[in-house]
Amino acid sequence: MASLKVEFATVRELEKKTSQIFVYGGSGLALGIVFVFIFPPIGIVIAALSLIAMLGGMIYVGMLGKEASHPLFCPYCSTKNDVYASRREFACDICHRHVLVNENGEAVMAEEIDLTPRHNQPK
């Protein structure tokens, strides 16, 4: 099951990417219901395939959601991210910056930020 969620580091990222399954499935179901009244054989097939896609999506999300996650705060913007326990890096859900998870399970900056005062920089 771990290979299914390689692309997801945070719970919010999983929710955003898998929500499209339900948008397309719901649209297909609505289209299928409309076609049931216009041309029943095509409408029934479209509605059935859409229902299968939506049910498959629910099962898929249920499988992916079983991995434990823990809250980590982004060192750049201080946003709480629910990160899957097996991840050693992730992109912040809000600022989208790359964040590393050290061996103690703490979020650390992947790259240092420029802290020099702005008034000393050349124009």
Q: When comparing pLDDT for 112 and 93, which is higher?
A: 93
Counting every residue written for the chain, the total comes to 123
pLDDT-derived band at 1, boundaries 50, 70, 90: very low
pLDDT tens by residue, 40-94: 999 999 999 999 988 988 887 777 777 788 899 999 899 999 998 888 899 998 9
Structure tokens at 27: 């649209």
Q: Which one, of 31, 26, 21, lies nearest residue 58 by Cα?
A: 21
**3-class DSSP state of 80:** strand
DSSP 9: -
**So where are the chain's domains?**
2-64, 69-118
Q: Which one, of 13, 15, 4, lies nearest residue 90 by Cα?
A: 13
pLDDT tens by residue, 3-20: 445 567 788 887 887 788
pLDDT-derived band at 99, boundaries 50, 70, 90: very high
